[in-house]
C-alpha cells in the first residue's frame, strides 16, 4: 500500500466522516447465500442502482465501520470467513469518479447550508483533495480483499452489462443519475483548475492500477 494513504495531509480540513469516529470508513456489502456473490459497494460506482436492485434479488445488506487507517481484515471482521464468496467490485475511472464525487460533495454542502466555494478551492489548492467518502480512493474499499483469490474487478464503464453477466437473474438495470450536465461541467472546471494532476495521480495511483486490471 502506498504510504501516502496513511498521512492526513491529503484529507480536507472539513472531511465528513461517515462513521462513529474521525475518518471512520463505512463499508456497505451485499451478500447472496444462494449464488455466493458478495458486492462491495463504493460511492459513485453505481451504488444507488445497486441499493435499488440487489435487495429484490436475494441480497442482504451488511454495514461495517472501520477506522480509515486500519482497514485490514481481522478476526472480528464480519466477512473474514466467507472466502468462498465471489468478491465483486465495480471500479470507475479515477478522474471521472473524482469529478462526480466533487459534485456530490458540493450538493451535500448546499443541502446542509454549508456551501462555501472559497473553502473548497482553498482545500483543493492546498492538496487536501480527499473531501469525503465520495472522493475517498476506491482502493480503501478493497483493502480487506486484495489478496482474496475470489476478488472480481469490473469496469464501471460497462456497469449494466457486467451486472447482468454477474447475476443472470438481473435483467433490467435502471441507471440512477442525480447530477445534471452543468454540475458535471462545474466539477470538471474545479478539477482542471485547482487539483494538481501530479499529486492526484500519486494519491489515486492504486485506483488507476486497479481500473486497468478490471474487466
Domain assignment present for residue 14? The answer is yes
- Greatest mean pLDDT among 60-64, 78-82, 209-213 lies in 209-213
User: What percent of the residues of the chain are helix, what percent strand, and what percent coil, each to the nearest 5?
Assistant: 45, 15, 40
The domain total for the chain is: 1
Q: What is the mean pLDDT of the chain?
A: 86
Domain assignment present for residue 3? The answer is no
Domain that holds residue 67: 8-213
Domain assignment present for residue 83? The answer is yes
Q: How many CB atoms lie within 10 A of CB 66?
A: 22
Domain assignment present for residue 144? The answer is yes
Per-residue confidence (pLDDT) for residue 173, from 0 to 100: 86
Rounded CA-CA distance 105/102 in Å is 5
Per-residue confidence (pLDDT) for residue 211, from 0 to 100: 96
142: confidence class by pLDDT, cuts 50, 70, 90:
confident
Read off the pLDDT of residues 86-123 as tens digits, 9 standing for 90 and up: 999 999 999 999 999 999 999 999 999 999 999 999 99
Residue entry with cell 434479488: 57
The pTM for the full model equals 0.89
Domain assignment present for residue 1? The answer is no
**pLDDT (mean) for 50-74:** 81
Three cell numbers, residue 131: 473531501
Domain assignment present for residue 2? The answer is no
Q: 153 with 213: CB under 8 angstroms? A: yes
Rounded CA-CA distance 103/109 in Å is 10
Amino acid at each position: 500500500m502506498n504510504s501516502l494513504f496513511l498521512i492526513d495531509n491529503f484529507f480536507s480540513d472539513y472531511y465528513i466522516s461517515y462513521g462513529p469516529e474521525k475518518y471512520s470508513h463505512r463499508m456497505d456489502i451485499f451478500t447472496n447465500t444462494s449464488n455466493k456473490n458478495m458486492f462491495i459497494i463504493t460511492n459513485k460506482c453505481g451504488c444507488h442502482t445497486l441499493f435499488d436492485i440487489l435487495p429484490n434479488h436475494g441480497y442482504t445488506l451488511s454495514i461495517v465501520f472501520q477506522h480509515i487507517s486500519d482497514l485490514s481484515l481481522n478476526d472480528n471482521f464480519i466477512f473474514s470467513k466467507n472466502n468462498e464468496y465471489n468478491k465483486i467490485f465495480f471500479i470507475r475511472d479515477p478522474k471521472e469518479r473524482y469529478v462526480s464525487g466533487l459534485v456530490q460533495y458540493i450538493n451535500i454542502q448546499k443541502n446542509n447550508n454549508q456551501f462555501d466555494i472559497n473553502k473548497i478551492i482553498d482545500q483543493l489548492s492546498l492538496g487536501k483533495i480527499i473531501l469525503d467518502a465520495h472522493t475517498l480512493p476506491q482502493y480503501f474499499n478493497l483493502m480487506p480483499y486484495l489478496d482474496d483469490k475470489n476478488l472480481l474487478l469490473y469496469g464501471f464503464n460497462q456497469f449494466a452489462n457486467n451486472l447482468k453477466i454477474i447475476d443472470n437473474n438481473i435483467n433490467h438495470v435502471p441507471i440512477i443519475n442525480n447530477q445534471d450536465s452543468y454540475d458535471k461541467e462545474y466539477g470538471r472546471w474545479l478539477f482542471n483548475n485547482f487539483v494538481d494532476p501530479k499529486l492526484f495521480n500519486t494519491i489515486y495511483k492504486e485506483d488507476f492500477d486497479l481500473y486497468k486490471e478490471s474487466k
